[in-house]
Chain A
């Protein structure tokens, strides 16, 4: 079966711009979570969506937002980009108590 698909794989944006990242979970998985991975801070939880509702939220500013659609696909948005937002953004999907499967990530570079 197809894995978790994140698009785009690479992105370059300018400070002040906004960006939208997409995550298509494994078919049947209704839980989608997002993580930011940087060399300095490591892997940090952003938020989790389940059935179009945000179930958990990490400690990130309001510039980071997300949503989930009825088909479980999720998007995350970062507004007013800062240099420090450069990171690998990982998405994971899960069903019930099963394993969380991660996508390959979107590498965002802010210049």
Chain B
């Protein structure tokens, strides 16, 4: 069955790097996503990676995918207080549908 796991909390100091980890069980997932949710808001897509890629970098964000271990990580460089939010890892099995399987979310707290 499909299952996505994440640690629930992460605290970092402003200016440090944050690494949020995610594991998934279904190897047939095609795309893996990172979404951000701020209080009272919907989900904002941060980045995504195709399952045949190992790494993707987008400004301060670096996504690493280890398909063998079914492990996905999101690194945020130079973390700022505005990065404090809940980060969700999600997998999908085609790029047309919206049947995402989400992890429980990691609450990132950035300390000044």
Residues of A within 8 A of B (CB): 4, 31-33, 35, 42-45, 48, 55-56, 58, 90, 92, 94, 96-97, 99-105
In the complex the two chains form, is B102's CB within 8 Å of A33's CB?
no
Residues of B within 8 A of A (CB): 35, 40-45, 88, 90, 95-105
In the complex the two chains form, is A102's CB within 8 Å of B98's CB?
no
Please name all residues of chain B whose beta carbon is closer than 8 Å to the beta carbon of A35 when the two chains form the complex. Answer: 100, 102
Output the nearest chain B residue to A104 by Cβ-Cβ distance: B42
In the complex the two chains form, is A97's CB within 8 Å of B95's CB?
yes
In the complex the two chains form, is B44's CB within 8 Å of A102's CB?
yes
Output the nearest chain A residue to B31 by Cβ-Cβ distance: A97
9 A-B pairs with the lowest CB-CB distances in the bound complex, closest first = A102-B42, A33-B98, A43-B102, A102-B43, A56-B99, A97-B95, A42-B104, A104-B42, A48-B98
Q: How far is the CA of A103 from the CA of B98 in the complex (A)?
A: 14
Please name all residues of chain B whose beta carbon is closer than 8 Å to the beta carbon of A96 when the two chains form the complex. Answer: 96
In the complex the two chains form, is B40's CB within 8 Å of A104's CB?
yes
17 A-B interface contacts by CB (under 8 A)? A31-B96, A31-B97, A42-B102, A42-B105, A43-B88, A43-B102, A48-B99, A56-B97, A56-B99, A58-B99, A94-B98, A96-B96, A97-B95, A97-B96, A100-B98, A101-B45, A104-B41
Output the nearest chain B residue to A93 by Cβ-Cβ distance: B98
Please name all residues of chain B whose beta carbon is closer than 8 Å to the beta carbon of A100 when the two chains form the complex. Answer: 45, 98, 100
Output the nearest chain B residue to A105 by Cβ-Cβ distance: B42
Output the nearest chain B residue to A47 by Cβ-Cβ distance: B99
